[in-house]
A and B are shown apart, each in its own frame.
Chain A
Amino acid sequence: MSNCTVSVNHAVPAAVLAQSRRTAKPVFSLCRLQPLLVSLMVLLTLASCAARTVNVEGSYPRPNIPAIPLVLGVYYGEGLTDFVYTELTDSGEEEYLVTSGDTHEVLFNTVLPAMFERVVVLDSLEAAAAQGVDAVFIPRINEFQLGMPQKTRLDSYEVWVRYNMRLTGVDGSYIADWVMTAYGKATASSFSTAERGINDAAVAALRDLASNFSLGFTGVPDVNDWLQRRSSQ
Chain B
Amino acid sequence: MITKARFLMPSAWLRPMTLLGMLAVFQACTTTTIDEFRQGATGISSEDSVVILGRTPVSPNDADPSQFVECVGERMASGDNAINVIPEQQFVDAMFPWFEPRMAPKRNEDLQLMMAQPMVTDIMSGLGVRYIVWLDGQTERTNEMGQLSCGLGTGGGGCVGFVTWEDDSSFEARVWDISSATEVGTISADAVGQTYIPAIVIPIPLIARVEANACSSLADQLKQFVQGD
**Residues of A participating in the B interface, judged by any CB pair closer than 8 Å:** 61-66, 147, 152, 154, 156, 158, 183, 185, 187, 207-208, 210-212, 214-215
Does the CB pair B101–A208 fall under 8 Å? yes
Docked CA distance A212–B57 (Å):
15
- Interface contact B64-A211, CB-CB below 8 Å: no
Count of interface residues, chain B, beta-carbon cutoff 8 Å: 19
Known contacts A66-B119, A183-B59, A185-B64: A61-B93 contact under CB 8 Å: yes
A219 to chain B, nearest CB (A): 12
Residues of chain B lying within 8 A (CB to CB) of residue A147: 60
Q: Which of B60, B64, B100 contacts A207 (CB 8 A)?
A: B100
Beyond A64-B119, A211-B96, 9 additional pairs, beta carbon < 8 A: A61-B96, A64-B96, A64-B98, A65-B97, A187-B66, A208-B100, A210-B96, A211-B97, A212-B100
Q: How many A-B residue pairs have CB under 8 A?
A: 51
User: Which one of A66, A187, A211 lies within 8 Å of B103 (CB-CB)?
Assistant: A211
Chain A residues with Cβ below 8 Å from B57 are 185
Q: How far is the CA of A222 from the CA of B79 in the complex (A)?
A: 55
Q: Are B102's CB and A212's CB within 8 A? A: yes
Output the least CB separation between B115 and chain A (Å).
Answer: 13
Picked from A63, A66, A152, A185, the residue with its CB within 8 Å of the CB of B97 is A63
Interface of B is mostly: loop
- Rounded to whole Å, the gap between the CB of B218 and the closest CB of chain A is 22
Determine if B97 and A210 form an interchain contact, defined as CB atoms under 8 angstroms apart: yes
Collect the chain B residues with CB atoms within 8 Å of residue A158's CB.
60
Q: Which residues of A contact B100 (CB under 8 A)?
A: 207-208, 210-212
Let me know if B120 is at the binding interface, CB within 8 A. Answer: yes
| 27 contacts across the A-B interface (CB closer than 8 A) | A61-B96, A61-B97, A64-B95, A64-B96, A64-B97, A64-B119, A65-B97, A147-B60, A156-B64, A158-B60, A183-B58, A183-B59, A185-B60, A185-B64, A187-B64, A187-B66, A208-B102, A210-B97, A211-B96, A211-B100, A212-B97, A212-B100, A212-B102, A212-B103, A214-B97, A215-B97, A215-B103
Most buried by B among A147, A152, A185, A210: A185
Is there a chain A Cβ closer than 8 Å to B116's Cβ?
no
Q: Which of A63, A64, A208 has the most CB of B within 10 A?
A: A64
Q: Is B160 an interface residue (CB 8 A)?
A: no
